[in-house]
Each structure stands twice: as C-alpha cells, then as structure tokens.
Amino acid sequence: MTAALKDETMSSLPSCDVMDVLPATARPHLVRRGLRLTYATLAYNSLEGLIAIIAGLTAGSVALVGFGLDSVIEVTASAAAVWRLHADRDPVHRALAERRALRLIGASFLALAGYVTYDAALTLFQHHAPEKSPVGIILAVVSLVVMPLLARAKRRVSAELQSDALAAEATQTALCAYLSAILLGGLVLNALVSWWWADPVAALVMVPLIVREGVDGLRGRAVCADCSPIVNGHGPM
C-alpha cells in the first residue's frame, strides 16, 4: 500500500477515537444485521412515501405530501448505507466507502432541510391548514412506533462497527420519527383547536438540527455520541 493511499485511508476512518477491536467473525454478522435493518428501512420508507404522497394529494394536504417527499430523501440515505455495508469486507474499501457514504447522507440531510424549510414557509404564507386525513394520521402513528425501533437498532450496529456513516443514517431514521410527531401534532391541533400554524412552526424549529447533521456529514464526521463503541453490550440509546 502506498503512503498516499494509507494517508487517505486513515483520514477516511470514523471520527471517534476508537480502534477496530471486533473479532474477525463478528463483523460479518454485524454487517448482515445492518443490511437487514437498512433493507427494512428502505422498504418501509418506500411504502410510507407512496402512501403519504397519495393521501396528501387526495386530501390536498401540503404537510402529507412533504412528509412523503421526505421519505424519498431518506430512501437515498438508506441506499448509501447499503453501499457502505457492502464495502465492509475490505478495510481499504471500507474506509473510502465510509467517507463517501457519509457525504452522500450529509447531502441528503441538507436536501431534507431545504424541503422542510420550503414546505413550512409555503404553508405559513398560504395559511394552509393541514387537511383531515385518517390515512395520514394512521401513517404518522405507525411511523412513530416503527422508526424509533429501527433507529435504535441501527445505532447499536453502527456503534459496534464504529461507522459514522451508519450512525448518520440512523440519525436520519430518528428524524423521520420526529417529523411523524410533527405531522401528527399538526393534524390533531388543527382538528381540535384550529392551530393550523403548529405544524409548519414545529418543522422550522427542527431545521437547524438537520442542517448541522448535514454539514457534519459533508465534512466527513458525525456526532460522536451516535458512533461510540458498545460498552458491556449496551449501545447508545
């Protein structure tokens, strides 16, 4: 291996100051588990996006359509995570894929922040109240249950594999749960007390967090708390 390639490889390693201490037989098992979780996320987000967009167009709900487009962005992040996991066998390719996947996921965070900002601002400008949509409410409730479970499981895998890219993708899965809560809260508050503005205002509050995650991803680093190693069998919550 040339000195230049070694330097690029070392600079591409995860940002947390930990060494790869996993037994040789443990990584393949963790990679398979990570792939199963990521494929499950891909399948759920694809279905979630399709249902949300159809329900949103049917009900004339900007919030639901926006939620569906967010799911499409999250599919891109999950696809990058799958690429990263498939590159795990070779340490050199693993390190290079780690950096590139992290940047792709960072870009998807910024795309998500841009759309949330546009959608929320448009909703506030037009005074567009979230429409009543039983399908949308059910979808938001299901996502509130499914997404935190997936995010927690993927954070455990990312911690054991010491992968910032996988930790960032798990964070985006968790953000989907927050957006589900925002969508549900907006629909419920509008239905009960006519607070039509609650949904876009809450979404705008989340934008700085999403932007921070995106910038960190493009710079090649993730929040270290999300990629800390497992201690005594317990990962980050």
Residue 140 lies in a domain: yes
**Which pLDDT tens digits describe the chain residue by residue (237 residues)?**
444 444 443 444 444 444 345 565 677 888 888 889 999 999 999 999 999 999 888 877 777 887 888 888 888 888 888 888 887 776 777 777 778 888 888 888 898 889 888 888 888 888 877 667 888 889 999 999 999 999 999 999 888 888 887 888 888 889 888 888 888 887 778 777 878 788 788 778 878 878 887 888 788 654 433 333 333 334 433
User: Looking at the 3D structure of the chain, how many domains does it have?
Assistant: 1
Residue 232 lies in a domain: no
Residues in Cβ contact with 228 at an 8 Å cutoff, skipping those fewer than 6 apart: 16, 18, 159, 236
Vertex 89 angle, CA 27 and 80, to 5° = 95
Neighbour tally for 186: CB within 10 Å: 27
Separation between Cα atoms, residue 185 and residue 229, nearest integer Å: 35
Residue 17 lies in a domain: no
Residue 161 lies in a domain: yes
Residue 117 lies in a domain: yes
The pTM of this model reads: 0.69
Residue 7 lies in a domain: no
Residue 60 lies in domain:
24-222
